[in-house]
Amino acid sequence: METLDKIKKQINDNSVLLYMKGSPKLPNCGFSSQASKALMQCGAPFAYVDILLNPDIRAELPKYADWPTFPQLWVAGELIGGCDIILEMFQSGELQPIIQNATKKN
């Protein structure tokens, strides 16, 4: 499977998907750690892809998303943003209903 097809499939197959460095329980960067903690506090399940174990995705996703950095949060097929946006939305209370609504549909 081509990398771009793999990315599209991951985004389509998961209503909430975090591309990050490491895993939610063992993040490998501070930004990924903060983003995954905010998502976990939303109380809904989410999928993740460790880009350190997937160098092809790490190389291609920024081009596909037109977003240069990681982590990247995708909800219902749409890019929400990176760490700063995730934290701002979480702190304002915007993120929780978006995550809850996305996970209810599946």
Strands 47-50 and 78-81: unpaired
Q: Domain tally for the chain?
A: 1
- Taking only the tens of pLDDT, the chain with its 106 residues reads 799 999 999 999 999 999 999 999 999 999 999 999 999 999 999 999 999 999 999 999 999 999 999 999 999 999 999 999 999 999 999 999 999 999 986 4
Within-domain flag for 106: no
pLDDT of residue 105: 60
CA atoms within 13 A on the CB side of 56: 7
Q: Which residues are annotated as a binding site for [2Fe-2S] cluster?
A: 29
Within-domain flag for 90: yes
Q: Which residues are annotated as a binding site for glutathione?
A: 21, 58, 70, 83-84
- Domain of 85 in residue numbering reads as 3-99
Q: Which residues are annotated as a binding site?
A: 21, 29, 58, 70, 83-84
Within-domain flag for 12: yes
Report CA-CA distances (Å) from 89 to 10, 22, 62, 85.
23, 22, 21, 6
Within-domain flag for 104: no
The CATH number that applies at residue 95 is 3.40.30.10
